[in-house]
């Protein structure tokens, strides 16, 4: 197979395959009922507004921003299983997405979030903030260190529990690549019954949200590791004329 052709920042993106995503209305996840648009999305041809996006620089991030074990440590280390999470951000054509901003947030090992609106019984960990961020390198690679989050109960049905998960927000090279999602952990028995996981339309897409334990990246006597790759939308080839900004000075 030929490697994919390189893309130009002036190229349009492939149309989003909406069948890969949850519909807006997913009654099993009750909050979606009143918050889901009822009318069809209006599909538009991309313009400069959709094919461009903010660009981030390494100096905007601090040296510990991607180390959740140390970035809020006050008088000790956070409690919990030490893990590394790593992977590649690529596009739909398999090309790396370099310089993507990856932001992550999570509950602590007891399933409690450091957020003024979270009232769960489990205690706050004084040494754990629960968020981190990083930029992908030239190969689209990212990694961070944290403690494994705990599951927690939530008000949907009265005995619904979220599986352990880490939230992700990824900002790529185009506004229409912006993605927010959640990563789960291989082997978690709560995944199958989670109403939020059940919003994902296919088994294969659900599998794509589950990080696999990666023994090859373990740090002996220190940390286990999980591998989680992310696919963003890809720019498509401009075969004849680029219509996005026809007439603009090139």
Partner 1 sequence: MNRFPETSSQTGGPYVHIGLAPQQAGFDIFNNNFGNVLVDERTEGQRIAIEGQVIDGSGTVLRDVLIEIWQANAAGKYAHPGDLQAKALDPHFRGWGRGGADFETGLWRFETIKPGPVAGRKGQLQAPHINLWIVARGINLGLNTRLYFSDEGGANAADPVLNGIEWAIRRKTLIAQRGERDGLPVYRFDIRLQGETETVFFDI
Q: Which residues pair with 145 in a beta bridge?
A: 67, 84
The structure tokens listed for 96 are 């790396």
**Options 27, 55, 74, 192; binder of partner 1; rule CB under 8 A:** 55
Q: Which residue has the tokens 């991030």?
A: 61
**Residue 42 or 215 with smaller CB distance to partner 1:** 42
**Options 27, 81, 139, 180; binder of partner 1; rule CB under 8 A:** 180
Active site residue 162: yes
Q: Which of 72, 113, 168, 184 is catalytic?
A: 113
Active site residue 115: no
The dihedral through the CA atoms of 156, 160, 161, 165 has a sign that is negative
Active site residue 165: yes
**Options 9, 27, 70, 157; binder of partner 1; rule CB under 8 A:** 9
**Options 82, 86, 114, 143; binder of partner 1; rule CB under 8 A:** 114
**Residue 131 or 218 with smaller CB distance to partner 1:** 131
Active site residue 152: yes
Q: Which of 152, 168, 184, 226 is catalytic?
A: 152
- The DSSP code for 18 is G
Distances (CA, A) of 143 to 11, 16, 87, 146, 177: 29, 27, 7, 10, 20
**Residue 168 or 225 with smaller CB distance to partner 1:** 168
The structure tokens listed for 222 are 């220190």
188 binds partner 1 (CB under 8 A): no
Burial classification of residue 146, based on how many CB atoms lie within 10 Å of its CB (0-12 exposed, 13-18 middle, 19 or more buried): buried
Phi, psi of 182 (to 5 degrees): -135, 145
Q: Which of 66, 90, 145, 162 is catalytic?
A: 162
**Options 105, 142, 144, 226; binder of partner 1; rule CB under 8 A:** 105
Residues 220-249 that bind partner 1 (CB under 8 A): 230-234, 243-249
**Options 27, 33, 123, 192; binder of partner 1; rule CB under 8 A:** 33
Nearest to 101 by CA among 166, 53, 54, 171: 171
Please choose, out of 75-83, 99-107, 143-151, 185-193, the segment that lies near partner 1 by the rule CB under 8 A.
99-107
**Options 6, 43, 159, 216; binder of partner 1; rule CB under 8 A:** 43
User: Do residues 195 and 29 touch, judged by C-beta distance below 8 A?
Assistant: yes
User: Do residues 193 and 53 touch, judged by C-beta distance below 8 A?
Assistant: no
Give the Cα separation of 213 and 194 in Å (integer).
20
Nearest to 95 by CA among 232, 209, 1, 240: 232
161 binds partner 1 (CB under 8 A): no
Per-residue x/- marks for partner 1, 190-209, CB under 8 A?
Answer: ------x--xxx--xxx-xx
Please choose, out of 74-82, 138-146, 180-188, 216-224, the segment that lies near partner 1 by the rule CB under 8 A.
180-188
CA 111 to chain centre: 19
Active site residues: 113, 152, 162, 165, 167
């Amino acid at each position: 197979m030929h490697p994919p052709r390189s893309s130009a920042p002036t190229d349009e993106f492939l149309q989003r395959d909406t069948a890969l995503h949850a519909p807006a209305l997913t009654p099993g996840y009750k909050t979606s009922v009143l918050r889901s648009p009822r009318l069809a999305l209006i599909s538009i041809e991309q313009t400069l507004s959709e094919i461009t996006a903010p660009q981030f620089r390494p100096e905007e991030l601090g040296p510990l921003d991607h180390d959740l074990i140390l970035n809020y440590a006050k008088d000790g280390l956070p409690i919990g299983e030490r893990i590394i999470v790593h992977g590649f951000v690529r596009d739909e054509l398999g090309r790396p997405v370099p310089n993507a901003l990856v932001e992550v947030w999570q509950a602590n090992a007891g399933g409690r979030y450091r957020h003024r609106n979270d009232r769960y019984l489990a205690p706050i960990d004084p040494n754990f903030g629960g968020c981190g961020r990083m930029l992908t390198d030239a190969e689209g690679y990212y990694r961070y260190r944290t403690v494994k989050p705990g599951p927690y109960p939530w008000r949907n049905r009265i005995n619904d529990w979220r599986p352990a998960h880490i939230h992700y927000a990824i900002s790529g090279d185009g506004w229409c690549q912006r993605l927010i999602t959640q990563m789960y952990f291989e082997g978690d028995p709560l995944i199958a019954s989670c109403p939020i996981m059940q919003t994902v339309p296919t088994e294969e897409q659900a599998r794509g949200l589950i990080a696999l334990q990666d023994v090859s990246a373990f740090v002996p006597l220190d940390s286990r590791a999980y591998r989680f790759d992310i696919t963003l939308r890809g720019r498509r080839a401009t075969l004849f004329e680029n219509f996005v900004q026809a007439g603009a000075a090139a």
